[in-house]
Amino acid sequence: MTRLLHLDASPRPGRSGTHEHGSLSRRLTHHFVEQWKARRPEDTVTRRDLGAQPPSYLDEAWIAAAFTPLESRTLAMHQALAESDRLVDEVIGADVLILGIPLYNYSYPAPFKTWIDQIVRLGRTIDFDPSNLEHPVGPLLNDRPRQAVILSSRGGHGLGTGGAMAHMNHLEASVRTALELIGIEHFHEIAIEHQETGGEYLQGSIREALIQVETLVERLQTIEEPCPA
């Protein structure tokens, strides 16, 4: 059984094509999960809506707790890390991460950044060896292959690899950097563009992205080795 972690970072609660002013990135994540479950209904999905319920910002109490050895933490420190522990557990348990992330100001929305900050955790998802001057940070989630699917939406166009404005898109590269740090190595990217242009340009991009999602689901299901329940 394969375990999916479905995250949405858009503040828009609905889905494009179903709800007025709905989110395009939510449309892609919903389509991905729907297609996956149609073929593999026994697989499990954990859903977390970062747009509706953003993770907490890191504060001094969190930092003090995270950098205190486990055996020395007080009850208050464990409580300060409780939300982070839940988010980390979801990532550790997942085989496929489905990340719905709209492009805001050439990067991702703040709730997604707070999620990243909560899951990059010393002793849980990364290790640190000060004696290793070249590579002091090591991943802890490289115990098995995990797939990360980045499903994005963009107001403009030409922001994908090879596009005229690709150098201004800091979303996918930043996500890959953070997740590679903790040990996730396999990435897949699909995006809708032309939201600001609208019309047939947007509709054509939506159609193409939905087809790419279906193709990706089929491909991943042929390579994904189910893990024991």
Alpha helix (H) residue ranges in the chain: 24-39, 60-66, 75-80, 82-93, 110-119, 171-182, 199-223
**25 annotated ligand binder:** yes
- Distances in Å between the alpha carbon of 130 and those of 127, 142, 153, 178, 182? 10, 20, 39, 20, 17
**What is the β-pairing status of strands 3-8 and 44-49?**
parallel
| 156 annotated binding-site participant | yes
Do the annotations mark residue 23 as ligand-binding?
Answer: yes
CA dihedral over 10, 15, 21, 25, signed as positive or negative: positive
- 104 contacts: CB under 8 Å, gap ≥ 6: none
Q: Residues 151, 213: contact at Cβ < 8 Å?
A: yes
Q: Which of 35, 54, 9, 36 is nearest to 152 (CA)?
A: 9
Q: Label the pairing between strands 186-192 and 137-139.
A: unpaired
Annotated binding residue 207: no
* 16 labelled ligand-binding: no
According to the annotation, is 107 in a ligand binding site? no
Is residue 173 within 8 A of residue 124, CB to CB? The reply is no
Q: Which residue numbers belong to the known binding site? A: 10, 23-25, 153-156
Q: Which residue numbers belong to the known binding site for FMN? A: 10, 23-25, 153-156
